[in-house]
A and B are shown apart, each in its own frame.
Chain A
Amino acid sequence: MDQLSQTLGKMGGVFLLPLAVALAAFVLIGAPSSWLTLTVAGLSMGMMIFLMASGLSLVFGLMDVLNFGHSAFVSLGAFIAASTLAALSGWLGSPSVLLNIAALLVALMAATAVGLVAGLFFERVIIKPVYSDHLRQILITVGALIVAEQLILAIWGGTPTTVLRPEFLEGSWIVGGSSIQVYRVFAFGLGALVYLALYLALNRTRIGLLIRAGVENREMVESLGFRIDRLFIGVFMLGSALAALGGAMWAGYETLITPALGGEMLVIVFIVVIIGGLGSINGTLLGAILVGLTSNYVGFLAPKVALASNMILMILILLWRPSGLSPAVK
């Protein structure tokens, strides 16, 4: 048994779980074309959730802040991207793919930039006064989420907002009898790029080293001569910007959004952070992919339990590993 455990550990350990889930689903679903469609959908959904959750995980791990307002950045990013794309509808409708891509990039960059600024405001005004007080953090960030949702409602209205998509991301590819949506492949690719950038930043730079050390022991980082409070601001802004980017991508995926979008994603984002383990980007990616795959497979195999599938997954994983699959602090 120990030998099997060691061999699995060398092959990737808990990071083999998505593969195991996909293989089990392949057997249960039976039809390879349906399985492929669901797997691509699950992976792209997972990557978008990863974008939303990665910042929360770092903020949670490094700053020990329970930010229930995190999903406000998801909503904000979604609506900023929707408005930007609407304003650039001329570019989107153009036959030029370059203009299509430019419109998409501007929308994503606008959402990210607004997320950065909103994150700075949120950290300075709302979070800073309640550091190291979890109860107040919960109360004030839930309150901030409600205020943010109402602000979005006041600005964009309660009618669902349609999100325009660039022409080149519309449609599907047919692969081996399976229909693969182009947007999903794009979402997966963008998520993978962001993960790679975060991974390199955390593992190959001095700031990344400080963040990883800070997640483990803030006091010791300060005792070595570094101002971790300044790092907090940067990480919070980064987390907010990533959430906004995730929201923008999710808006394009859903194509119809309401101000409640962030609130709806909040539970799933927290589940991913808890499953993955606090403060770990690798863990968050793993949790997000597992949630994405499980949601799609269960939705196909047993639609009646689809809503509960994420909760069941979280319970099972926490019973097995109470600190999550790959926490930053072991």
Chain B
Amino acid sequence: MSLLTLDHLKTSIGQYHVLHDVSFSVPEGGVFVLLGRNGAGKTTTLRSIMGLWQPSPGSITFRGDDITGLHTSDIARRGIAYVPENMGVFGGLTVAENMVLATHTGRFDRARLKRVYELFPALERFWDKPAWSLSGGQKQMLSVARAIIEERALILIDEPTKGLAPSIVEAMGDAFVEISDSTTILLVEQNFQFAKRLGRDMAVIDDGRIVHSGTMADFAANQALQDQVLGLSV
């Protein structure tokens, strides 16, 4: 059964038509990867799902409910977390304050906090430090940690490996594998090697249109298809 379905989504930013026709379904569980080159419409797709940009026309269905046009905060409260490309970390706040904001009651579930510490030990070390003092990788960890500190059905993650050292990318991949055991992840990526390791299902977007969708295993095994839909762009 699909957790999230995008149906003929079109999104414009000002006078620019970014998404022309985006349709795909994210099944429940595992990691779904949306691949595409720079400017293909990956980030716009995630922002449209979050209600940060309003699609028109087209519809977005989450757990069977139409969430198109809902306010971003309502979409978040339905169980969708967002890790933006710029990480969205509040630099002037401490790591602890960033985490508190991601809880709806202001209190932590101890078991979940313990899990966050196990996944990202650096966050426990820098708990009372201002977030601006963290490294790029640590900020990315904080951004992901905010998304998992409470139970969510779906996490949207936008290019988490961008600009990170290979060792951090490796650790981030391990964390995503573990997180995806209990939560569905919709991952936007350009790094095909990283995406290949994590993805169960996938789609390729180009020029605001979905040009391929299927399982990652089939796609990874089909070099001709990769050349056709990805070419030199990824």
**Chain A residues close to B by CB (< 8 Å):** 206, 209-210, 212-213, 215-217, 219-228, 328-330
Contact = CB atoms under 8 A, between A and B. Distances in A.
The prevalent SS among residues of A at the interface is: helix
Interface of B: 50, 52, 71-73, 76-77, 81-82, 84, 88, 90-93, 97, 100-102, 104, 106, 132, 146
A209 B100 contact: yes
A223 B82 contact: yes
Give the interface centre of B71, B88, B93, B97 by most chain A CB atoms within 10 Å: B88
Contact of A330 (B71, B92, B102, B104): B92
Nearest to A210: B101
B166 to A, nearest CB: 27
Q: Which 6 A-B pairs have the closest CB atoms?
A: A220-B88, A225-B76, A222-B72, A223-B82, A225-B77, A213-B90
Given A213-B97, A213-B101, 16 more contacts: A209-B100, A209-B101, A212-B92, A215-B92, A216-B91, A217-B90, A220-B90, A221-B101, A222-B76, A223-B76, A224-B146, A226-B73, A228-B73, A329-B91, A329-B92, A330-B92
B69 to A, nearest CB: 15
Nearest to B143: A220
18 contacts: A206-B106, A209-B100, A209-B101, A216-B93, A219-B72, A222-B52, A222-B76, A223-B72, A223-B76, A223-B84, A224-B73, A224-B101, A224-B146, A225-B73, A225-B76, A225-B104, A226-B73, A330-B132
Contacts, number: 62
A91 to B, nearest CB: 44
Give the interface centre of B76, B97, B101, B106 by most chain A CB atoms within 10 Å: B101
A228 to B, nearest CB: 8
Given A209-B97, A330-B132, A224 B102 contact: yes
Contacts of B84: 219-220, 223
